Structure 1
């Protein structure tokens, strides 16, 4: 059939324009990584000079940790002697594969220098990994401060708190004392009032398994609100997370198409990309109708 000269209905033109307007903003967003930044913290214990021995050792540490992250989800490294010694550590979320872990640590090792220029100790948290360095030993003992948090709106179900406590208690025991988990455990429960799924996740760094891991996770639990749709708390040694409905895990399926919007510190291009993608899907559906 010859379509030259055919005139499309006005409604079709409108739908094409709608799709165009939805797609163009997406093309203008520099989404260079799927890793989602949460926060960073710069310790005020001292600074180093450019081109100093400490800076050179820090660069060695960050480079080594980045390389390690391509093969394992947790790593430590030390460079230097005396007052110029730099200790480094990273830990990736337990459900991530090696490429996703490496991507997060690689990005974190670059951004931590920008976020905390010339600082002798710093930590940066992503949803996918934690990276830190210091001029003191930071492995094999737990630290529950400083912290970073993310959260969203209140969830209207009085049964949430009890289900959350029961689910978290089981996961904390599993993460802390089941060595096969390497400090990571996730689980879920059902909220019957609105037939929603509660997803929970806890994780310690693998160097503090046992009572230290449990202590760190329970410390996080004591400060955690138990009536929200989404909550996440990061500390240097452990993380605790829960979300109702949607769970953006590295290797698990999502239960719903669109997550609730959390309050998120830092940049979140990947999340913005997701939201815009949903708008394009809606536009396509409109076009087909």
Structure 2
């Protein structure tokens, strides 16, 4: 194989490698569920109302990453709740919501109800009246497959942390019910956790949602693992032994949050894997491709020299 063939071979190999990196690292998509309450007909009034609603979500998200609204009347009314993670800056939030709003109908093309959760934003829509109400289903529990070394002490430290965060979140006011922080755990581990409710919930409903979500985790196989989360349309709970959230909203800071949205690396999938990446916005994929391309260019230049 001459030098020119070697260069072509290396270029193709690096291209395949960078494509694999871009496909495997998806910090956005996590899980979806299509409702079972009924289906609608394509081009029906409900379908048109839902399309109008979904297309407007990204622009209507407020400065705290939240929106709820509806389009239509009676049985044709489509309602939606949008929530971004509390530490994600607004531009990233809206980009995530825009992408999510398109893909949720690709996954659930004619169901009256659907819930699609990205690592930094979620969308839930329904033909029922959902605005300002507590929604605990659809629900998903995901967890790591790696156990902690001292479950009893770990759970004790985690419970204390979550109790403090829940108190902070439920009293967050009408704009942002979010709290995140860390605590020292056993075996020199640090436990990171965050909780969040949709800000339209009352203090009591937010507290109930997070309490029952934590109880759900305690009864699951995730109890005793190094990371887990429980996701609901109205609230989220997650913990890890490595940092996964921005520091700007910890301890009550109001500075501009920085997006740090890595997925749960060893979570057990709750649904079929997502389709191949499509064109358009896809969260943090662009930096991955850019880095891979830069590495490829540098290696090729070295081979040529």
What is the TM-score normalised by the length of structure 2? Answer: 0.75
RMSD over aligned Cα atoms: 3.7
**1:85 to 2:85 alignment:** no
Structure 2 vs 1, CA of residues 82 and 121 (structure 1 numbering), >3 Å: closer, same or farther?
same
Task: Name the structure 1 match of 2:42.
Answer: 50
- The match for 1:169 is 163
Q: Answer yes or no: is the 8 Å Cα contact 2:84–2:121 preserved in 1.
A: yes
Aligned in 2, Cα 1:39/1:87: closer, same or farther, shift over 3 Å?
Answer: same
In the aligned structure 2, how far is the partner of 1:100 from the partner of 1:34? 15
Are the aligned partners of 2:88 and 2:260 in contact in 1 as well (CA < 8 Å)?
A: no
Give the structure-1-normalised TM-score: 0.79
Q: Which residue of 2 aligns with 1:202?
A: 195
| CA distance in structure 2 between the partners assigned to 1:185 and 1:80 by the alignment | 35
The number of residues matched between the two structures is: 267
Tell me the equivalent position of 1:213. 206
Q: 2:239 aligns with which of 235, 242, 250?
A: 242
Instruction: Report deviation, 1:149.
Output: 2.3
In structure 2, stretches of 5+ residues that fail to align are: 1-5, 247-256, 278-282
Partner of 1:261: 266
In structure 1, what is the equivalent of residue 230 of structure 2? 233
Classify the secondary structure of the residue corresponding to 2:132.
coil
- Between the aligned partners of 2:141 and 2:65, the Cα distance in structure 1 is 22
* Contact map agreement 1:144 1:237 (CA 8 A) in 2: yes
1:90 Cα deviation after fit = 0.5
1:182 aligned to 176, 183, 203, which one?
Answer: 176
- Which residue does 2:100 correspond to in 1? 108
Residue 129 (1) aligns with residue 121 (2): yes
Structure 1 window deviating more from structure 2 (200-209 vs 76-85): it is 76-85
> Is 2:4 the counterpart of 1:41?
no
More divergent stretch after superposition (202-211 vs 145-154): 145-154
1:3 matched to which residue of 2? Answer: none
Instruction: Answer whether contact 1:54 1:86 (CA < 8 A) is retained.
Output: yes
Provide the secondary structure at the position in 2 that maps to 1:145. coil
Distance 2:109 2:185 in 1: 45
Could you give the per-residue CA deviations for residues 102-127 of structure 1, whole angstroms, max 9, x where no partner exists?
Answer: 11111111111011111111111111
Contiguous gaps of at least 5 residues in structure 1:
1-12
What secondary structure sits across from 1:75 in the alignment?
strand
In terms of Rg, which structure is larger? Answer: 1
Picking from 52, 55, 61, the partner of 1:69 is: 61
